Amino acid sequence: MRPRDWGWLVCLMLVSFAIGTDDFVIAGVLPAISADLRVNEATAGQLVTAFSVTYAVAAPPLAVATATVPRRLLVIGGMSVFALVNLVSALAPNYPVLMALRVLSALVAAAITPATFAMAERLASPERAGRAIGVVAAGLTVSLFLGVPIGAFLGSTFGWRSTFVAVGLFSLAVAAAGALLLPAVAGSVTSGVRAQLRTLSRPAVLLCVAGTTAGACAGLMTYTYIAPITRDLTGGDGPILALLIAVVGLSGAAGTFLCGRATDRWGADRTLLATYAGLVAATVALTLIGVVGRGTAPVWLLAGALAVWGFAGWGFNPPMNMRMLRLAPDAGTEAVALNTSGLYVGIAFAGAIGGMVLAGGGGGVGVTVAAAGIGAATLVLMAVSVRRFPSPTPQGSSRPIEDTSAPPRPAG
């Protein structure tokens, strides 16, 4: 029976919030880690790179390896391990130990996150699946403007180790809440690894992943280099930058919620194309503001463009994940994991390409030009993908929560 209590959805959102905070907050305490562990900031920054690369590489194989594990057991057990790793990280005596713990943290996160999206889609009624995925995705967005600042404040006040303690204790609380609120959900019934790999190698799935990678590159390039963009477009930074980051975070959270609802109403494909179009339009607007304003653009104008960018840039998450789940219903978690890997690869490309533009003297406007060009190409790619491989919109009941063909067993 499909649960009527939506406490499970709040729990899944808190899982993504905890993982997002752990992923992003490290950037805010890098100077303190650098000073305490006696490494330069460039070396300390590799803690972020190691997490992202590990996640991108590990998510698909971990999804395949854990496909038959009951979802409740995977999420609760994973969050318990995740909490332990963060608590131990607070005791790291040196940089190599902390690096190893960051890799381990990324492995656990890579195993849990795709399962939360697939679990949300399975537990929600068919007409509410999109908004359920949107709520889970919102946890990642909210971590940017709530979890990360809180973690950074703790780090600056009580030392960087307190940040890991806070994430660890919060993750432990989420695991306990999961034990109370998450219903039992069976793992996938698969015919083996080869069958899963055949599903993941379908052109429809691979085109979706390519769209996510290119879209993340176009979108996250703007966010990664928002500081030079702000400086070059308005001539200001500091408080102005903080305000604009808050605008992006709030609009991004609204985008994930509302685009989840739009996915239920208009379908994943139409909503996905609309978000990509909004992302390109906002990036082009940023370019025009830079060219016309010549460094003196009003802050409110830049804030408006970034609000649209944040809404669309984060709002594409629910329809994209829903599209992946619909295209690969027999390997949904694995498909989401592969798609998430594409997201992290796109983030890496965003940093590299944007950095080359800045190094070449293009400035903030040059970054927006590059992002707009990649975004336009992505929009064309996804339009072709959606036309060639439209995602099905099944009616009626969603897939069963439990595999009734299997013998009864204790809840995970």
Per the structure, the complete domain to which residue 174 belongs is given by 7-189
Q: How many C-beta neighbours within 10 Å does residue 63 have? A: 28
Exposed, middle or buried: residue 103 (CB in 10 Å: 0-12, 13-18, 19+)?
middle
In a domain, 280, yes or no: yes
The arithmetic mean of pLDDT across residues 63-85, rounded, is 91
What is the identity of the amino acid at 357?
Answer: V
Lowest mean pLDDT segment, chosen from 24-33, 209-218, 292-301, 400-409: 400-409
| Residue 103 shares a structural domain with residue 203 | no
| Residue 48 shares a structural domain with residue 68 | yes
In a domain, 342, yes or no: yes
| Residue 208 shares a structural domain with residue 314 | yes
At residue 406, the pLDDT reads 36
The arithmetic mean of pLDDT across residues 318-343, rounded, is 83
Structurally, the chain folds into a number of domains equal to 2
Exposed, middle or buried: residue 33 (CB in 10 Å: 0-12, 13-18, 19+)?
buried
At residue 399, the pLDDT reads 41
| Residue 211 shares a structural domain with residue 314 | yes
Q: 360 with 214: CB under 8 angstroms?
A: no
| Residue 238 shares a structural domain with residue 382 | yes
| Residue 169 shares a structural domain with residue 208 | no
Q: For residue 176, which phi and psi values (nearest 5 degrees)?
A: -65, -40
In a domain, 394, yes or no: no
Q: What is the CATH number of the domain that holds 301?
A: 1.20.1250.20
In a domain, 368, yes or no: yes
Give pLDDT tens digits for 256-297: 889 988 998 899 999 999 999 999 999 999 999 999 877 788
Domain boundary among 189, 209, 229: 189
Structure tokens at 7: 């406490």
Q: How far apart (Å, rounded) are the C-alpha atoms in residues 124 and 4?
A: 9
Among residues of the chain, what percentage have pLDDT more than 90? 36
Q: How far apart (Å, rounded) are the C-alpha atoms in residues 119 and 75?
A: 10
In a domain, 295, yes or no: yes
In a domain, 229, yes or no: yes
| Residue 265 shares a structural domain with residue 331 | yes
**Would you say the C-alpha torsion 31, 79, 68, 126 has a positive or negative sign?**
negative
**Which residue carries 């005596």 as its tokens?**
93
At residue 393, the pLDDT reads 67
In a domain, 341, yes or no: yes
What is the identity of the amino acid at 325?
Answer: L
| Residue 185 shares a structural domain with residue 334 | no
At residue 125, the pLDDT reads 82
| Residue 179 shares a structural domain with residue 281 | no
At residue 190, the pLDDT reads 55
Q: What is the mean pLDDT of the chain?
A: 84
Phi-psi category of residue 127: left, alpha or beta, with phi > 0 → left and psi -120 to 50 → alpha: alpha
Q: How many C-beta neighbours within 10 Å does residue 249 have? A: 21
Domain boundary among 128, 160, 189: 189
| Residue 376 shares a structural domain with residue 231 | yes
| Residue 48 shares a structural domain with residue 179 | yes
At residue 109, does pLDDT exceed 70? yes
| Residue 172 shares a structural domain with residue 204 | no
For the ranges 45-49, 86-90, 234-238, 292-296, the maximum mean pLDDT occurs at 86-90
In a domain, 407, yes or no: no
At residue 84, the pLDDT reads 97
Q: For residue 389, which phi and psi values (nearest 5 degrees)?
A: -130, 75
Q: How far apart (Å, rounded) are the C-alpha atoms in residues 55 and 348?
A: 12
